Amino acid sequence: MRATTHLLGGQALGLATVCLWGRGATPLLAGAALGSLLPDIDHPGSKLGRKVRPVSWTLEAVVGHRGPIHSLLLPALVAAVGFPLAVGSRFGIPFLIGVLLGIFSHFLLDAFNPTGLPLFFPFSSHRFSFPLTVKTGGVGELGFTLLCAVASALLAWKVWG
């Protein structure tokens, strides 16, 4: 999936969470935006990868794209590092929750890619993907992008009316 689809997916999940939780919209949505792009830091051509090229090149060379960064190791690491930093900050916990939601929305959308994700790396080499897959940049992804955009718009209307 492309960055736009991932951003809209992260925002839709973030906005749904704000609707249920009822607070922290700005930090949560900022975190969701970052988190929705974070797994692709292992690809130098990605939106985030282009901003931190040395990190991106190194990750791609060492672990490859859609490798360990696209496994449950990433949210575990983000939570382990982020929680101690977030505690005691007014916006820290909503931001961290947003980052984690964004990562999970990224994983959910990438599970529609035929390559799949190594979710349980290093414990399993199985790559998880849904039976229905779509090509990045194809008409199927356009459908996901439109669905995420409509969901985001409806949820934003509910949050900010």
Please report, as a single letter, which amino acid is at residue 140.
Answer: G
Residue 24 above 80 pLDDT? no
Q: For residue 114, how many C-alpha atoms fall within 13 Å in the half-sphere facing its CB?
A: 5
Domain count, the chain: 1
Cis peptide before 118 (omega within 30 of 0): no
What's the mean pLDDT when you consider all of the chain? 95
**Strand, helix or coil at 121?**
coil
**Strand, helix or coil at 128?**
strand
pLDDT tens digits for range 126-155: 999 999 999 999 999 999 999 999 999 999
The phi-psi region of residue 71 (left if phi > 0; otherwise alpha if psi is between -120 and 50; otherwise beta) is beta
Q: Distance between CA 40 and CA 69 in Å, rounded? A: 8
Over residues 46-58, the mean pLDDT reads 95
Rounded to two decimals, the pTM is 0.94
**pLDDT recorded at residue 22:** 81
pLDDT tens digits for range 89-132: 889 999 999 999 999 999 999 999 999 999 999 999 899 999 99
Q: Which domain holds residue 123?
A: 3-160
**pLDDT recorded at residue 90:** 87
